Structure 1
Amino acid sequence: MIKPEITARRIGDERQPIVIVEGFHPDPERLRSAAESAQFEPAHRHYPGIRAALPKDYFTQVRPVLAMVLREVFGHAGAIDLIDASFSIVTAPPADLTIEQRLPHVDAVQPGRIALVHYLSRDDGDGTAFFRHRASGFETIDGQRSAGYLARLNTELNEGGMPPHAYVHDDTPLFERTAQVGARYNRAVIYRSAILHSGAIRPGAPLDADPATGRLTVTAFLSAD
């Protein structure tokens, strides 16, 4: 068994940690096979695509490396609770994206929330990008910042117009990209859910719903003590 390779980085002016793990799962081919036979359905919670259930032992397989990352990098040595996790494939055409899907976002503002994206496409492709809101300088949105940030963003959108029908992958008039992690087979990126981010889906990227050829990932949201 190949030992996972772990790299921790700090990004942006706020120096928030992100972690990149190569070789995250011990048997990614079995995961791909499970995805190819899974029943995908339209996603909820603003995800621009489809999702399906994971094998029941997924977190048993990755828990040792995940627990070490949460403890050593993010300072969470207590219990890890799973909030939500699934196979995910981006499929929504740019013309169908909602306003929320055309902007960087955060997954949660509560402390202790962690996001995980595990890339399972065989070909390197679109990864995950992280952003700074230009007007406020915010790179993370916590409970104290949330109301003021949303009010300011809404004012900018009302005065300057809605964002174009496109995925966010680079700088925009309202947001500056601070970092990007490219997709690579069996690579995972782990970060605090409060960081502004987006799937870095490039213009013209194929949006294939077939798990054998599409942008197959595992997306997960955790709560850590």
Structure 2
Amino acid sequence: MTTPDVRARRIGTEGEPVVVIDHFVPDPHALRVFAATQDYGPAGRHYPGIAASLPDSYMRDQGALIATIAKQVFGMSAGLSLLEARFSIVTMAPSALSIEQRLPHVDAVEPGRLALIHYLVPDETGGTAFYRHRSTGFETIDASRRDPYFAALNRDLAKHGAPESYIAGDTPLFERITRIDGVYNRALLYRSSLLHSGEIADGTSLGSDPQTGRLTITGFFAG
């Protein structure tokens, strides 16, 4: 059995850590089989697609590794609590996206929050990109930056407009600082305050079938 391969790297001028974990689970195929049996509904939280429940074993089996990384890389030694974890599939056509869904975003501005994405598509269909907001220079948005960031962003949108599709690379508003490929059975762990977006390339299947669509697992944690 292949053991997880954990690598931490720092990105951008703010030097925030992003942890890449290859071979994250022993049997990703079993997760895909389980995903195909679930009932999916709107994901909410501005996610451009649908979501379904995970098997109970997922966090039981992966929780110890996530907690170890949270302590060793992110300095979260007081313990980690699960806020939410689910299967997710991007299904929304570019023409149906809201402005928020066409821009990089953060998952939370509160301190001590982490986000997980686990890629479950055997043929790579894009990964995750991290961004710098050009006019402020921000790569992370915490509570102290939230108001000035959105004020600047609204000025930028009034001047330049938003992308017409899923963001992919540099724009007048944002600079892509790094991109991490969505390799099968790879997971990423990063602070929820990092500006990021899924890389949804042209030609990506936007169907709702978990066997053929862009199936991932997303998780959110507090420490």
TM-score w.r.t. length of structure 2: 0.97
Q: Which runs of 5+ in 2 are unaligned?
A: none
Assess if the C-alpha contact under 8 Å between 2:125 and 2:204 holds in 1. Answer: no
Aligned to 1:221: 220
> Deviations 1:100-134 (Å, cap 9, x if unpaired)?
00000000001100000000111112110000000
Shift of 1:206: 2.1
SS at match of 1:218: strand
Report the equivalent of 2:180: 181
8 Å contact kept, 2:160–2:172: no
For residue 42 of structure 2, what is the aligned residue in structure 1?
Answer: 42
Q: Percent identity?
A: 51
Question: What letter is aligned with 1:188?
Answer: A
Matches of 2:116 and 2:88, distance apart in 1: 12
5 Å matches for 1:32-181? 32-161=32-161, 163-181=162-180
Question: In 2, Cα distance between the equivalents of 1:150 and 1:82?
Answer: 28
Aligned partner of residue 183 in structure 2, secondary structure: coil
Q: Distance in 2 between matches of 1:123 and 1:164?
A: 26
What is the aligned partner in structure 2 of residue 8 from structure 1? 8
Asked if the contact 2:129–2:178 (Cα under 8 Å) also holds between the matched residues in 1, the reply is yes
Following TM superposition, by how much is the alpha carbon of 1:192 offset from its aligned partner in structure 2, in angstroms? 0.3
- What residue is the counterpart of 2:205 in the other structure? 206
How far apart are the structure 1 equivalents of 2:203 and 2:157? 25
Residues 128 and 198 in structure 1, CA contact (< 8 A), matched pair in contact too:
yes
What is the RMSD computed on CA atoms of the aligned residues?
0.9
Consecutive unaligned residues of structure 1, counting only runs of 5 or more, are none
Q: Distance in 2 between matches of 1:130 and 1:117?
A: 13
1:102 partner letter? R
Equivalent position SS for 1:146 = helix
Deviation at 1:165, TM superposition (A): 2.4
Contact 2:126 2:181 in 1 (8 A): yes
Write out per-residue CA displacement over residues 63-103 of structure 1, whole angstroms, 9 at most, x where no aligned residue. Answer: 12111111111111222111111100001000000000000
142-151 or 205-214: bigger deviation:
205-214
AA matched with 2:143 = G
The alpha-carbon deviation at position 136 of structure 1 amounts to 0.5
The residue identity in structure 1 corresponding to 2:197 is S
C-alpha distance in 2 between matches for 1:217 and 1:86 = 8
Contact 2:106 2:192 (C-alpha < 8 Å) held by counterparts: yes
Runs of 4+ residues deviating >4 angstroms: none
How far 1:27 sits from its partner (Å)?
Answer: 2.0
Q: Counterpart amino acid of 2:151?
A: A
Partner of 2:171, secondary structure, is coil
Say how many residue pairs are matched.
223
Is residue 141–residue 196 contact of structure 1 (8 Å, CA) maintained in 2?
A: yes
**Conservation of the 8 A alpha-carbon contact between 1:167 and 1:203:** no
Give the letter aligned to residue 2 of structure 1.
Answer: T
For the residues of structure 2 that align with 1:152 and 1:50, how far apart are their CA atoms? 31
